Amino acid sequence: MRFIALLVFWVLLNIQNVGAEKSAPKSTRVPQPILKHETWKGTQCVASEEDIRKNHMDFLLHQRDDTVHEGIRTKKYSLKNCINCHVTTKGKDGAPIPITSREHFCNTCHAYVGVTLDCFQCHATHPDSGQVKTKIIDKITPIIEKHENQAFHSKVKNGGKDE
């Protein structure tokens, strides 16, 4: 009896969904990264997938100091070179894919893991096509006080006297 109970217990313990990795439904709460390997240039990245996935921020942060301060422009860990290889496709209307889209190479993973990307506040998000112009995206309306300056200038012209 005890043996049968133990046997049943052991069987229950070892029931596994053997096809788990392949057939488990993907989480629908967080959109999975869209990685289109076929659109990237070349056959492999500058480092192995694990290495680059874990350390790309350190490579880039180190490289940027070298580039800005020393003028060292090697291509291996250059951000511009990452973009040149990985951001090769355009959006539906022929315009470059914006960084806010989940289809942009960098944003697709960064949105998934929830890590802020601030590189592209300054850096170009796509290789230069020469067609698209730099654009302001949150235009403000500064209040420029013109009449104050004019009053001062007229005072100076009159030799310090108010007119």
Partner 1 sequence: MSRLNVDEDRRSFVKTSLVSGLAVVSGVSLVQISNAKDPGESVSASKRWGMLIDTTKCASGCDACVTACNVEHGLEAIENREETDAQWIRKVHLKNKLTDAEHDLPMMCQHCENPPCVDVCPTGASFKRDDGIVLVDKHTCIGCRYCMMACPYKARSFIHEALTNQKPDVPRGKGTVESCTLCVHRVDKDGEKAIPACAEACDKEGHKAIVFGDLKDKNSVLSQLLSEQSSTQIRADLGLNTGIRYRGI
CA distance 92 to 76: 30
Q: Tell which one of 94, 142, 159, 160 touches partner 1 (CB under 8 A).
A: 142
Token pair in block for residue 118: 């601030």
Does the protein bind partner 1 through residue 132 (CB under 8 A)?
yes
Please give the Cα distance from 72 to 32 (Å, whole number). 36
Which amino acid, one-letter code, is at 102? Answer: R
How many binding residues for partner 1 (CB under 8 A)?
A: 33
Q: Name residues contacting partner 1, limited to 53-92 (CB under 8 A).
A: 64-65, 68-75, 80, 83
Question: How many angstroms separate the CA atoms of 98 and 150, rounded?
Answer: 43
Which region, judged by CB under 8 A, interacts with partner 1, from 7-15, 20-28, 43-51, 119-127? 119-127
The site for partner 1 (CB under 8 A) is made up of 64-65, 68-75, 80, 83, 96, 98-99, 121-125, 127-128, 132-140, 142, 144
